[in-house]
Amino acid sequence: MSAETMGLRESKKQETRQLISDHATRLFLAQGFEQTTIAEIAAAARVAKKTVTNYFPRKEDLALDHHEAFVESLARAVADRTEGESALAALRRYFLTAVEERSPVAGFAGYEFAHMISESPTLTARLRELHDQREEALAEALAEGAGGSRGEGERIAPRAAATLLAAAQRLLFERIQELTLAGRSTDRIAGTVAKEAAYVFDLLAPSLGDHPDARRG
């Protein structure tokens, strides 16, 4: 198979995946997540039910389509930080950039989407699970970046740092959702959360700013 043929096939797969996701989102917003079935999504996208589940093994993943990027986001920000930059500084920069870009991974998804999640026990539980997975990925990234040997009591340090850093990100994500559901405009939310984020990260600075497991280099 030629590279061109493989490229076209991959492009077709991405188009089909996006088509299914778009129709699923439309139905979820119109009917509610719990009330919408895989059969309805398949019919709307004009594909087989098996095609839907091949692309999205879990129904929740149809709604939370950015779940992979979400889980990897904090670990990637830490792994890609500059020489000598602390994990705290990298994650502060990551979050403020996400706010500037109004990124859905940071929580900017609009009122209808935020309301859909808040009204669905299944999606609320899945979102909590994704936050937990994001923290685990961050802990692994911090552990991989740690240099030198540690005593028995210090071995928990990467996990402790990840718990604090991920909790701050979770708090700010939930704050964006809270303000969205309160009917605030996107720009107003961004302005409010940027100030609150600065305060939150400043609170963490005394304990994590120079943490040996949180600094690259």
| pLDDT of 94 over the 90 cut | yes
Residue type, 160: A
Q: Report the predicted TM-score, pTM, of the whole model to 2 decimal places.
A: 0.85
Which ranges in the chain are annotated with CATH 1.10.10.60?
3-59
Which ranges in the chain are annotated with CATH 1.10.357?
67-214
Q: Just give the CATH number of 3-59.
A: 1.10.10.60
- What is the residue-averaged pLDDT of the chain? 89
Which of the four pLDDT bands, split at 50, 70 and 90, describes residue 46? very high
Q: Which fold has domain 67-214?
A: Tetracycline Repressor; domain 2 (1.10.357)
What was the pLDDT predicted at 209?
Answer: 66
Give, in order, the Cα–Cα distances in Å from 179 to each of 19, 61, 128, 170: 30, 24, 18, 14
Which of the four pLDDT bands, split at 50, 70 and 90, describes residue 214? very low
What was the pLDDT predicted at 151?
Answer: 55
